[in-house]
Structure 1
Protein backbone atom coordinates (compact mmCIF):
# COMPACT_ATOMS: atom_id res chain seq x y z
CA UNK A 1 0.00 0.00 0.00
CA UNK A 2 1.19 3.49 -0.88
CA UNK A 3 -0.13 6.48 1.03
CA UNK A 4 -0.38 9.94 -0.54
CA UNK A 5 -0.90 12.41 2.30
CA UNK A 6 -3.25 15.34 1.67
CA UNK A 7 -3.30 18.25 4.10
CA UNK A 8 -5.18 21.55 3.74
CA UNK A 9 -3.36 23.64 1.15
CA UNK A 10 -1.75 20.75 -0.79
CA UNK A 11 -0.81 21.26 -4.45
CA UNK A 12 -3.38 19.23 -6.35
CA UNK A 13 -1.27 18.41 -9.42
CA UNK A 14 1.61 17.19 -7.26
CA UNK A 15 -0.76 14.85 -5.41
CA UNK A 16 -3.18 13.64 -8.07
CA UNK A 17 -0.91 13.25 -11.12
CA UNK A 18 1.34 10.74 -9.31
CA UNK A 19 -1.76 8.94 -7.95
CA UNK A 20 -3.04 8.64 -11.53
CA UNK A 21 0.31 7.29 -12.81
CA UNK A 22 0.58 4.84 -9.90
CA UNK A 23 -2.97 3.54 -10.31
CA UNK A 24 -2.45 3.06 -14.05
CA UNK A 25 0.54 0.89 -13.07
CA UNK A 26 -1.83 -1.14 -10.84
CA UNK A 27 -0.16 -0.04 -7.59
CA UNK A 28 -2.30 -0.10 -4.47
CA UNK A 29 -2.43 3.59 -3.53
CA UNK A 30 -4.68 5.50 -1.15
CA UNK A 31 -5.05 9.22 -0.68
CA UNK A 32 -5.00 10.03 3.03
CA UNK A 33 -6.85 13.01 4.45
CA UNK A 34 -4.53 14.39 7.11
CA UNK A 35 -6.85 17.24 8.04
CA UNK A 36 -10.15 15.43 7.40
CA UNK A 37 -11.96 13.38 4.77
CA UNK A 38 -12.44 16.36 2.45
CA UNK A 39 -9.24 18.32 1.94
CA UNK A 40 -9.03 21.63 0.06
CA UNK A 41 -6.04 22.22 -2.17
CA UNK A 42 -3.95 25.38 -2.36
CA UNK A 43 -6.07 26.45 -5.36
CA UNK A 44 -9.42 25.86 -3.68
CA UNK A 45 -10.16 22.41 -5.14
CA UNK A 46 -11.90 20.14 -2.61
CA UNK A 47 -10.75 16.51 -2.79
CA UNK A 48 -12.37 13.61 -0.96
CA UNK A 49 -9.58 11.39 0.38
CA UNK A 50 -9.86 7.59 0.20
CA UNK A 51 -9.18 7.31 3.94
CA UNK A 52 -8.28 9.54 6.88
CA UNK A 53 -4.98 9.51 8.73
CA UNK A 54 -6.50 7.52 11.60
CA UNK A 55 -7.03 4.58 9.19
CA UNK A 56 -3.45 4.11 8.00
CA UNK A 57 -1.66 0.86 8.80
CA UNK A 58 2.11 0.92 8.52
CA UNK A 59 2.41 -2.89 8.47
CA UNK A 60 2.68 -3.59 4.76
CA UNK A 61 3.18 0.02 3.68
CA UNK A 62 5.23 0.15 0.47
CA UNK A 63 5.78 3.87 0.51
CA UNK A 64 4.61 7.35 1.38
CA UNK A 65 4.22 10.35 -0.89
CA UNK A 66 4.27 13.97 0.26
CA UNK A 67 2.87 16.54 -2.18
CA UNK A 68 3.99 20.12 -1.74
CA UNK A 69 2.00 23.31 -1.82
CA UNK A 70 1.52 25.94 0.82
CA UNK A 71 0.37 25.75 3.46
CA UNK A 72 0.00 22.02 2.70
CA UNK A 73 3.67 21.26 3.36
CA UNK A 74 3.55 23.02 6.72
CA UNK A 75 0.35 21.16 7.62
CA UNK A 76 1.95 17.82 6.72
CA UNK A 77 5.01 18.57 8.83
CA UNK A 78 2.86 19.62 11.79
CA UNK A 79 1.16 16.20 11.90
CA UNK A 80 2.88 13.60 14.10
CA UNK A 81 1.25 10.65 12.29
CA UNK A 82 2.63 11.86 8.95
CA UNK A 83 6.11 12.21 10.45
CA UNK A 84 5.80 8.77 12.05
CA UNK A 85 4.85 7.23 8.68
CA UNK A 86 7.77 8.96 6.93
CA UNK A 87 10.27 7.83 9.57
CA UNK A 88 8.91 4.28 9.61
CA UNK A 89 9.08 4.06 5.80
CA UNK A 90 12.60 5.42 5.71
CA UNK A 91 13.86 3.14 8.50
CA UNK A 92 12.33 0.09 6.81
CA UNK A 93 13.61 0.75 3.29
CA UNK A 94 10.21 1.72 1.88
CA UNK A 95 9.79 4.40 -0.78
CA UNK A 96 9.68 7.95 0.57
CA UNK A 97 8.77 10.49 -2.10
CA UNK A 98 8.35 14.26 -1.74
CA UNK A 99 7.80 17.01 -4.30
CA UNK A 100 8.06 20.81 -4.39
CA UNK A 101 8.36 22.22 -0.85
CA UNK A 102 7.75 18.83 0.80
CA UNK A 103 11.39 17.62 0.51
CA UNK A 104 12.01 20.23 3.24
CA UNK A 105 10.22 17.86 5.63
CA UNK A 106 12.74 15.13 4.77
CA UNK A 107 15.57 17.62 5.27
CA UNK A 108 14.28 18.65 8.68
CA UNK A 109 14.07 14.96 9.71
CA UNK A 110 17.68 14.33 8.61
CA UNK A 111 16.54 11.81 5.99
CA UNK A 112 18.41 13.55 3.16
CA UNK A 113 21.81 13.46 4.84
CA UNK A 114 24.28 12.30 2.18
CA UNK A 115 21.52 11.89 -0.44
CA UNK A 116 21.05 13.61 -3.78
CA UNK A 117 17.82 15.63 -3.74
CA UNK A 118 15.91 18.44 -5.39
CA UNK A 119 13.04 20.76 -4.44
CA UNK A 120 11.14 23.88 -5.45
CA UNK A 121 13.59 26.79 -5.88
CA UNK A 122 14.00 28.68 -2.62
CA UNK A 123 13.76 25.60 -0.38
CA UNK A 124 17.32 24.35 -1.04
CA UNK A 125 18.56 25.47 2.38
CA UNK A 126 15.91 23.26 4.02
CA UNK A 127 17.42 20.10 2.50
CA UNK A 128 19.85 19.66 5.39
CA UNK A 129 22.75 17.35 4.52
CA UNK A 130 21.57 16.79 0.95
CA UNK A 131 23.54 17.11 -2.27
CA UNK A 132 21.16 19.49 -4.09
CA UNK A 133 20.96 18.64 -7.81
CA UNK A 134 18.45 21.17 -9.16
CA UNK A 135 17.12 18.55 -11.60
CA UNK A 136 13.41 17.84 -12.10
CA UNK A 137 13.34 14.50 -10.28
CA UNK A 138 15.97 12.64 -8.26
CA UNK A 139 15.97 9.06 -7.00
CA UNK A 140 18.64 8.17 -4.44
CA UNK A 141 18.09 4.74 -2.95
CA UNK A 142 14.53 4.63 -1.64
CA UNK A 143 14.18 8.45 -1.59
CA UNK A 144 12.55 10.33 -4.49
CA UNK A 145 12.36 14.11 -4.65
CA UNK A 146 11.02 16.42 -7.36
CA UNK A 147 10.90 20.16 -8.09
CA UNK A 148 7.24 21.02 -8.51
CA UNK A 149 3.89 20.70 -10.27
CA UNK A 150 5.41 20.68 -13.76
CA UNK A 151 7.35 17.55 -12.80
CA UNK A 152 4.39 15.69 -11.25
CA UNK A 153 4.03 13.05 -14.00
CA UNK A 154 7.80 12.55 -14.08
CA UNK A 155 7.62 12.18 -10.28
CA UNK A 156 4.94 9.50 -10.70
CA UNK A 157 7.16 7.80 -13.29
CA UNK A 158 10.03 7.73 -10.79
CA UNK A 159 7.80 6.17 -8.12
CA UNK A 160 6.53 3.46 -10.49
CA UNK A 161 10.09 2.84 -11.77
CA UNK A 162 11.27 2.15 -8.22
CA UNK A 163 8.14 0.26 -7.09
CA UNK A 164 7.67 -1.89 -10.21
CA UNK A 165 10.18 -1.30 -13.01
CA UNK A 166 11.33 1.35 -15.46
CA UNK A 167 9.68 -0.61 -18.28
CA UNK A 168 6.32 -0.56 -16.47
CA UNK A 169 6.69 3.16 -15.79
CA UNK A 170 7.67 3.85 -19.41
CA UNK A 171 4.60 1.94 -20.63
CA UNK A 172 2.24 3.95 -18.41
CA UNK A 173 3.81 7.25 -19.42
CA UNK A 174 3.84 6.23 -23.08
CA UNK A 175 0.16 5.24 -22.94
CA UNK A 176 -0.52 8.68 -21.43
CA UNK A 177 1.25 10.24 -24.45
CA UNK A 178 3.99 11.76 -22.29
CA UNK A 179 6.87 10.10 -24.15
Structure 2
Protein backbone atom coordinates (compact mmCIF):
# COMPACT_ATOMS: atom_id res chain seq x y z
CA UNK A 1 0.00 0.00 0.00
CA UNK A 2 1.17 3.52 -0.76
CA UNK A 3 2.13 5.70 2.21
CA UNK A 4 1.30 9.42 2.38
CA UNK A 5 2.40 12.27 4.62
CA UNK A 6 0.25 15.14 5.84
CA UNK A 7 2.60 18.02 6.62
CA UNK A 8 1.57 20.21 9.54
CA UNK A 9 2.88 23.70 10.30
CA UNK A 10 1.85 26.01 13.13
CA UNK A 11 -1.47 27.58 12.17
CA UNK A 12 -2.71 24.72 9.98
CA UNK A 13 -6.46 24.40 9.31
CA UNK A 14 -7.61 21.57 11.57
CA UNK A 15 -10.64 20.48 9.50
CA UNK A 16 -8.55 20.15 6.34
CA UNK A 17 -5.75 18.21 8.04
CA UNK A 18 -7.68 15.91 10.33
CA UNK A 19 -10.52 15.09 7.92
CA UNK A 20 -7.96 13.92 5.39
CA UNK A 21 -5.99 11.90 7.95
CA UNK A 22 -9.20 10.33 9.25
CA UNK A 23 -10.56 9.40 5.81
CA UNK A 24 -7.23 7.99 4.62
CA UNK A 25 -6.80 5.91 7.75
CA UNK A 26 -10.41 4.63 7.54
CA UNK A 27 -9.43 3.33 4.07
CA UNK A 28 -6.33 1.67 5.61
CA UNK A 29 -3.93 4.03 3.86
CA UNK A 30 -0.81 4.63 5.93
CA UNK A 31 -0.83 8.34 6.57
CA UNK A 32 1.81 9.97 8.78
CA UNK A 33 1.33 13.41 10.30
CA UNK A 34 4.67 15.16 9.76
CA UNK A 35 5.61 18.31 11.66
CA UNK A 36 7.85 21.14 10.56
CA UNK A 37 7.92 22.47 14.15
CA UNK A 38 8.29 19.91 16.92
CA UNK A 39 6.25 16.96 18.17
CA UNK A 40 3.12 19.06 18.90
CA UNK A 41 1.66 21.53 16.43
CA UNK A 42 -1.06 24.06 17.19
CA UNK A 43 -3.66 24.66 14.50
CA UNK A 44 -5.26 27.93 13.50
CA UNK A 45 -8.10 27.35 16.00
CA UNK A 46 -5.79 26.47 18.90
CA UNK A 47 -6.22 22.70 18.65
CA UNK A 48 -2.94 21.00 19.54
CA UNK A 49 -2.04 17.85 17.59
CA UNK A 50 0.64 15.32 18.45
CA UNK A 51 2.34 14.46 15.17
CA UNK A 52 3.94 11.18 14.16
CA UNK A 53 7.36 12.45 13.05
CA UNK A 54 9.33 15.67 12.65
CA UNK A 55 10.18 16.43 9.02
CA UNK A 56 13.93 16.24 9.63
CA UNK A 57 13.68 12.56 10.67
CA UNK A 58 11.79 11.14 7.70
CA UNK A 59 13.03 9.58 4.49
CA UNK A 60 10.76 11.10 1.84
CA UNK A 61 11.62 8.21 -0.50
CA UNK A 62 9.36 6.05 1.70
CA UNK A 63 6.32 8.14 0.72
CA UNK A 64 4.15 8.05 -2.38
CA UNK A 65 2.79 11.53 -1.82
CA UNK A 66 2.10 14.45 0.45
CA UNK A 67 -0.87 16.49 1.59
CA UNK A 68 -0.67 20.13 2.62
CA UNK A 69 -3.57 21.52 4.66
CA UNK A 70 -4.29 25.23 4.42
CA UNK A 71 -5.02 27.64 7.21
CA UNK A 72 -3.17 30.76 8.11
CA UNK A 73 -0.46 31.19 9.06
CA UNK A 74 0.01 27.44 8.45
CA UNK A 75 0.20 27.69 4.67
CA UNK A 76 2.59 30.64 4.93
CA UNK A 77 4.78 28.61 7.31
CA UNK A 78 4.81 25.71 4.83
CA UNK A 79 5.65 28.09 1.96
CA UNK A 80 8.64 29.44 3.89
CA UNK A 81 10.00 26.01 4.85
CA UNK A 82 12.89 24.91 2.60
CA UNK A 83 12.57 21.15 3.32
CA UNK A 84 8.86 21.25 2.37
CA UNK A 85 9.63 23.07 -0.90
CA UNK A 86 12.45 20.61 -1.66
CA UNK A 87 10.17 17.59 -1.09
CA UNK A 88 7.46 19.09 -3.33
CA UNK A 89 9.96 19.70 -6.13
CA UNK A 90 11.34 16.16 -5.78
CA UNK A 91 7.85 14.60 -5.74
CA UNK A 92 6.90 16.66 -8.80
CA UNK A 93 9.98 15.41 -10.71
CA UNK A 94 9.17 11.83 -9.64
CA UNK A 95 5.47 12.26 -10.53
CA UNK A 96 4.40 11.41 -6.99
CA UNK A 97 1.10 12.60 -5.56
CA UNK A 98 1.01 16.25 -4.43
CA UNK A 99 -2.14 17.52 -2.68
CA UNK A 100 -2.92 20.96 -1.26
CA UNK A 101 -6.12 22.54 -0.01
CA UNK A 102 -7.36 26.06 0.79
CA UNK A 103 -4.40 28.46 1.08
CA UNK A 104 -1.81 25.67 0.70
CA UNK A 105 -1.76 25.67 -3.13
CA UNK A 106 0.34 28.83 -2.69
CA UNK A 107 3.08 26.48 -1.41
CA UNK A 108 2.89 24.67 -4.76
CA UNK A 109 3.25 28.05 -6.46
CA UNK A 110 6.37 28.74 -4.39
CA UNK A 111 7.76 25.34 -5.44
CA UNK A 112 7.00 26.29 -9.07
CA UNK A 113 5.01 23.14 -9.88
CA UNK A 114 1.66 24.64 -10.97
CA UNK A 115 2.48 26.03 -14.41
CA UNK A 116 -0.19 24.91 -16.90
CA UNK A 117 -1.92 22.80 -14.20
CA UNK A 118 -5.61 23.12 -13.33
CA UNK A 119 -5.67 24.35 -9.72
CA UNK A 120 -8.23 25.55 -7.20
CA UNK A 121 -7.61 27.40 -3.95
CA UNK A 122 -9.23 29.54 -1.30
CA UNK A 123 -10.38 32.85 -2.87
CA UNK A 124 -7.66 35.48 -2.67
CA UNK A 125 -4.70 33.11 -3.03
CA UNK A 126 -4.81 32.91 -6.84
CA UNK A 127 -2.03 35.52 -7.00
CA UNK A 128 0.45 32.89 -5.75
CA UNK A 129 -0.35 30.40 -8.52
CA UNK A 130 1.72 31.83 -11.35
CA UNK A 131 1.06 30.02 -14.59
CA UNK A 132 -1.78 27.84 -13.26
CA UNK A 133 -5.22 27.53 -14.80
CA UNK A 134 -7.42 28.65 -11.89
CA UNK A 135 -10.66 26.69 -11.54
CA UNK A 136 -13.63 27.68 -9.38
CA UNK A 137 -14.38 24.14 -8.20
CA UNK A 138 -14.31 22.41 -4.80
CA UNK A 139 -11.68 19.85 -5.87
CA UNK A 140 -9.49 19.73 -8.96
CA UNK A 141 -7.24 16.90 -10.13
CA UNK A 142 -4.58 17.79 -12.68
CA UNK A 143 -2.16 14.95 -13.34
CA UNK A 144 -0.46 14.11 -10.05
CA UNK A 145 -1.68 17.30 -8.33
CA UNK A 146 -4.95 17.46 -6.38
CA UNK A 147 -6.17 20.76 -4.94
CA UNK A 148 -9.14 21.71 -2.82
CA UNK A 149 -10.88 25.05 -2.33
CA UNK A 150 -11.30 25.19 1.47
CA UNK A 151 -12.65 23.57 4.64
CA UNK A 152 -16.01 22.65 3.07
CA UNK A 153 -14.14 20.63 0.43
CA UNK A 154 -12.17 18.54 2.96
CA UNK A 155 -14.14 15.30 2.52
CA UNK A 156 -14.35 15.60 -1.28
CA UNK A 157 -10.62 16.36 -1.28
CA UNK A 158 -9.86 13.28 0.83
CA UNK A 159 -12.06 11.09 -1.39
CA UNK A 160 -10.26 12.42 -4.50
CA UNK A 161 -6.95 11.42 -2.92
CA UNK A 162 -8.26 7.89 -2.31
CA UNK A 163 -9.58 7.66 -5.87
CA UNK A 164 -6.16 8.71 -7.20
CA UNK A 165 -4.73 5.74 -5.26
CA UNK A 166 -7.13 3.41 -7.08
CA UNK A 167 -9.42 2.99 -4.08
CA UNK A 168 -12.75 3.80 -5.72
CA UNK A 169 -14.59 0.95 -3.95
CA UNK A 170 -13.27 2.14 -0.59
CA UNK A 171 -14.51 5.65 -1.40
CA UNK A 172 -18.02 4.36 -2.07
CA UNK A 173 -17.97 2.25 1.11
CA UNK A 174 -16.75 5.21 3.18
CA UNK A 175 -19.32 7.56 1.71
CA UNK A 176 -22.02 5.09 2.67
CA UNK A 177 -20.73 4.33 6.17
CA UNK A 178 -20.06 8.01 6.89
CA UNK A 179 -23.49 8.97 5.50
CA UNK A 180 -21.82 11.39 3.09
TM-score normalised to structure 2 length: 0.95
How far apart, in 2, do the equivalents of 1:16 and 1:73 lie?
A: 15
Equivalent of residue 152 in structure 1, options 151, 154, 176: 154
How far apart, in 2, do the equivalents of 1:125 and 1:33 lie?
A: 26
Query: Which residue of structure 2 aligns with residue 13 of structure 1?
Result: 15
Matches within 5 A, 1:64-79: 64-79=66-81
How far the C-alpha of 1:54 sits from its partner, in A, is 1.5
Q: Which moved more, 1:157-166 or 1:134-143?
A: 157-166
How far apart, in 2, do the equivalents of 1:72 and 1:54 lie?
A: 18
How far apart, in 1, do the equivalents of 2:151 and 2:86 lie?
A: 25
How far the C-alpha of 1:108 sits from its partner, in A, is 2.4
Which structure 2 residue ranges, 5 or more long, are not aligned? none
Which structure 1 residue ranges, 5 or more long, are not aligned? none
Q: Which moved more, 1:57-66 or 1:161-170?
A: 161-170
CA RMSD of aligned residues (A): 1.0
Query: Which residue of structure 2 aligns with residue 23 of structure 1?
Result: 25
SS of residue in 2 equivalent to 1:59: helix
Q: 8 Å contact 1:63–1:89 — kept in the other structure?
A: yes
How far apart, in 2, do the equivalents of 1:176 and 1:92 lie?
A: 34
Give the length in aligned residue pairs: 178
